[in-house]
Amino acid sequence: MVFDDFSGPVLGVAEKLLGKRLVTRIGGETTSVVICEVEAYGGADDPASHAFSGPGRRNRTMFSKAGTLYVYRSYGVHWCANVVTGPEGRGEAVLLRGGRPEWGSETMIARRGRDDHLCDGPGKLTQALGVDGGHDGLALSAGRKVWLEETAEGPPESMRTPRVGISRATERLWRFVAVGVGYRSPHGTNRGAL
Tell me 68's DSSP state: B
Convert the pLDDT of each residue in 63-96 to its tens digit: 999 999 999 999 889 999 999 998 999 999 999 9
State the sign of the Cα–Cα–Cα–Cα dihedral 187, 169, 72, 28.
Answer: positive
pLDDT at 191 over 50: no
Per-residue model confidence (pLDDT) at position 190: 40
Tell me 52's DSSP state: T
What crossing angle do the helices spanning 105-112 and 122-129 adopt, rounded to 10°? Answer: 120
Closest CA to 6 of 76, 80, 90: 90
Is residue 60 situated within a structural domain? yes
Is residue 171 situated within a structural domain? yes
Convert the pLDDT of each residue in 2-44 to its tens digit: 788 888 899 999 999 999 999 999 999 999 999 999 999 999 9
pLDDT at 183 over 90: no
Q: How far is CA 77 from CA 55, 72, 188, in A?
A: 22, 10, 20
Is residue 190 situated within a structural domain? no
Per-residue model confidence (pLDDT) at position 142: 64
Tell me 2's DSSP state: B
Judge whether 187 and 164 are in contact, CB under 8 Å: yes
Is residue 194 situated within a structural domain? no
Lowest mean pLDDT across 96-100, 127-131, 165-169, 187-191 = 187-191
Domain that holds residue 160: 10-182
Judge whether 20 and 149 are in contact, CB under 8 Å: yes
Per-residue model confidence (pLDDT) at position 171: 95
Higher confidence at residue 184 or residue 128?
128
CATH number of the domain within which 80 lies: 3.10.300.10
Domain tally for the chain?
1
The whole-angstrom separation of Cα 120 and Cα 177 is 12
Is residue 5 situated within a structural domain? no
Is residue 53 situated within a structural domain? yes
Per-residue model confidence (pLDDT) at position 185: 73
In terms of DSSP bridges, do strands 175-178 and 29-42 run parallel, antiparallel, or are they unpaired?
Answer: antiparallel
Is residue 120 situated within a structural domain? yes
pLDDT at 113 over 80: yes
Convert the pLDDT of each residue in 116-162 to its tens digit: 999 999 999 999 999 999 999 999 976 689 999 999 888 899 999 99
Is residue 189 situated within a structural domain? no
